[in-house]
Amino acid sequence: MPQIKTDICVIGAGSGGLSVAAGAVQMGARVVLIEAGEMGGDCLNAGCVPSKALIAAAKAAEAQRRGFRGVAAVKPKVDFGAVKDHVAAVIAQIAPVDSQERFEGLGCTVIRAFARFTGPREVEAGEHTIRARRFVIATGSRPFVPQVQGIETVPYLTNETIFGLRERPEHLIVIGGGPIGVEMAQAHRRLGSKVTIVEAAKVLGREDPELAAVLIEALEAEGIDLIDGAPVVRLAGSAGAVEVTLGDGRQATGSHILMAVGRKVSVEGMNLEAAGIAYTPKGITVDARLRSSNRRVYAVGDAAGGLQFTHVAGWHAGIVIRQAVLGLPAKADLRAVPRATYTDPELAQVGLTEAEARAAHGAALTVVRAEFHHNDRAQAEGKDNGLIKVMIVKGRPVGASIVGPQAGELIGLWALAINAKLKMSAIAGMVAPYPTLGEVSKRAAGAYFGPQLFESPTLKRIVRLIQRLVP
C-alpha cells in the first residue's frame, strides 16, 4: 500500500476541513485532504446553501402574496420543480470553490475515500497509507433519526433528501421545532404546502422565550400548525399518507414527514481507538485548543462535539491553523459565537440570553431593549415587528438577542462588541447611516445610558450649575 508522508492530513472536506486545507497549503505546509463523500460537505450540498436558496424563493412568493400599500397582492404561481432547479443552480455555482480540482490546484493531495486510523500517526484511505505530523478531523455530522415505532416502514425525509424532492408536499409534517425545523416549515408553507410542526418539548425552546414568541406568532399567522409538549411515539402510513402519534395521544396526519430533531456526529468506523483518540456520541473530546487526547490530532466543526454551525467550523479552522501551521497559541472562546434562524422575522443570538445572564450575574445585570417599531427604516419597509435585547454587566455587553428583519446581519455588531470586550459607550458613540435597521443597535445602547443622562437628579443639578457659571 503506497505511503504518503505529509505535514497535515485533513479528514473531511466540509467547511472546517476545506478552510484548514486551503489555509495550510497556501502557507507552505504539505497537505493531504481526504473525503469519502461530496466535496463541500453538508453545508454546500444539503444544509446552509440549499436551505437559504429555498428560503429566498419562498420569500419571493410571500412578497407577492402580501403585496404592499398601493401594490396589489396576488396569488403567486409556484413551480416547485423550478424552485428546486434554482436550489441546484446555486449549489452548482458555489461548488467549484469547494471542488477537488481547486484544492489540487492549490497543492493539496486529495484522496476520495474513507479514512481509518491504523495508529497514532497513520490513517488508511483507499489504496493509500498517510503518515502525518498533524491530523485534523472535520467529518461533520448527519441527521439524527430517532428510533420510534414505525420508523423502519414509514417513509420520511431529512435535510439530505428534502432538497431533491421535485413535487411539492401537500402536507408536510416537520418533526422538530428547532432552527432547521422552523426554517423548512415556513419555506414550504410559503411555497404552498400545508405544514405542521411537531415538537417534543417547546418550539424554539433554546431561544429567549420573549423573542421566540414573536417568531412563533408569525409562523402561526402564516397558517403553520404547532403541536408541542409531547414526544413522537409512533409513525404509521405510507408514501403520501402518513400519521404521527404523540405520547399524549394527539395525532398529526399529512403527506410527508421531515425529520429535523438534531444532528449526529460522524465519527463511526474511523478506528479512533487505534490512535488513542477519546470520543463520545457527541463527538471528539477536545480541549480549549481543539486538541484531542492524541496531541497530534485536532477536531473542528461538528466533529469537535460543540456548537454545530458552519461559521463555527470555519472559526475552528483558523484556531487550528495558528497552532498546527504557525506554531502559535490559540484557544476557542465561545463567548462571542453568534447563531441565527433565517425565518421571517429572523432570530439571532450571541453570548448569554437574558435567563442565562441573570443566572450568571444576578443583580449586576442590566437589560436594555429597543423595538423595531421605533426604527424609521423598519417602518418605511413595513417590517417593524421585532426587538433587540442586550444584556450588560459593568458597562459591557455579555449577550444580545434580536428578532426582526435582518437579525442575522445585525447580530454581527454585537458579536464584535463581545469578542473585543467593547463598552456600551462604543456602540452609543457609533455613527450609523440614516435610515438603517442598524440604528436599532444604537438605540439599545442609548437606552442603557438614558437613565444616567435624563433621570439623574445629580446630573440635572450639575447641568444647571454649569449653565449659570460658564459664560
What is the residue-averaged pLDDT of the chain?
96
Share of the chain above pLDDT 90, in %: 95
- The dihedral sign for the CA sequence 180, 49, 281, 292: negative
* Pairing verdict, β 338-341 and 346-351: antiparallel
What mean pLDDT do residues 341-367 have? 98
Q: What's the confidence (pLDDT) of residue 461? A: 82
Higher pLDDT pick, 216 / 464: 216
| Residue 460: pLDDT over 90 | no
| Residue 459: pLDDT over 80 | no
Contact 183, 58 (CB under 8 A): no
- 276-297 pLDDT, tens per residue? 999 999 999 999 999 999 999 9
**What are the backbone dihedrals phi and psi of residue 310, each rounded to the nearest 5 degrees, phi first?**
-60, -40
- The dihedral sign for the CA sequence 173, 44, 5, 133: negative
What mean pLDDT do residues 413-426 have? 97
| Residue 2: pLDDT over 90 | no
- 46-104 pLDDT, tens per residue? 999 999 999 999 999 999 999 999 999 999 999 999 999 999 999 999 999 999 999 99
| CATH number given to 162-262 | 3.50.50.60
Q: What's the confidence (pLDDT) of residue 216? A: 98
For residue 28, which of 83, 98, 106, 121 has the smallest C-alpha distance?
Answer: 106
| Residue 162, helix vs strand vs coil | helix
| Residue 128, helix vs strand vs coil | strand
- 14-37 pLDDT, tens per residue? 999 999 999 999 999 999 999 999
Length of the chain: 471
| Residue 392: pLDDT over 70 | yes
Categorize the per-residue pLDDT at 313 as very low, low, confident or very high, splitting at 50, 70 and 90. Answer: very high
What mean pLDDT do residues 365-390 have? 97
Q: What's the confidence (pLDDT) of residue 101? A: 98
d(CA 228, CA 234): 15
Query: Which residues have C-beta within 8 Å of that of residue 128, sequence separation ≥ 6?
Result: 1, 2, 3, 4, 111, 113
Categorize the per-residue pLDDT at 466 as very low, low, confident or very high, splitting at 50, 70 and 90. Answer: confident
Assign domain 3-39+99-143+264-332 to its CATH superfamily. Answer: FAD/NAD(P)-binding domain (3.50.50.60)
| Residue 295, helix vs strand vs coil | coil
Three state DSSP letters for 67-99: CECCECCCCCCCCHHHHHHHHHHHHHHHHHHHC
Categorize the per-residue pLDDT at 462 as very low, low, confident or very high, splitting at 50, 70 and 90. Answer: confident
In a 10 Å sphere around its CB, with 0-12 CB exposed, 13-18 middle and 19+ buried, how is residue 62 labelled? middle
What mean pLDDT do residues 403-408 have? 98
- Could you report how far apart the first and last alpha carbons of the chain are, in Å? 90
Q: What's the confidence (pLDDT) of residue 395? A: 97
| Residue 261: pLDDT over 80 | yes
Chain centroid to Cα 412, Å, comes to 13
d(CA 64, CA 413): 32
Q: What's the confidence (pLDDT) of residue 284? A: 98
| Residue 329: pLDDT over 80 | yes
d(CA 381, CA 384): 8
DSSP 167: S
Share of the chain above pLDDT 70, in %: 100
Q: What's the confidence (pLDDT) of residue 8? A: 98
- 146-168 pLDDT, tens per residue? 999 999 999 999 999 999 999 99
C-alpha cell at 218: 408569525
| Residue 456: pLDDT over 90 | no
- 175-216 pLDDT, tens per residue? 999 999 999 999 999 999 999 999 999 999 999 999 999 999
Same fold, 3-39+99-143+264-332 and 335-454: no
d(CA 114, CA 222): 44
d(CA 39, CA 138): 12
Domain 335-454 has CATH 3.30.390.30: yes
Contact 267, 283 (CB under 8 A): yes
For residue 51, which of 143, 166, 169, 188 has the smallest C-alpha distance?
Answer: 188
Contact 8, 20 (CB under 8 A): yes
Domain boundaries, the chain: 3-39+99-143+264-332, 162-262, 335-454
Q: What's the confidence (pLDDT) of residue 457? A: 82
Contact 398, 456 (CB under 8 A): no
Contact 31, 107 (CB under 8 A): yes
| Residue 453: pLDDT over 70 | no
| Residue 139: pLDDT over 70 | yes
Q: What's the confidence (pLDDT) of residue 154? A: 98
Chain centroid to Cα 395, Å, comes to 28
What mean pLDDT do residues 216-241 have? 97
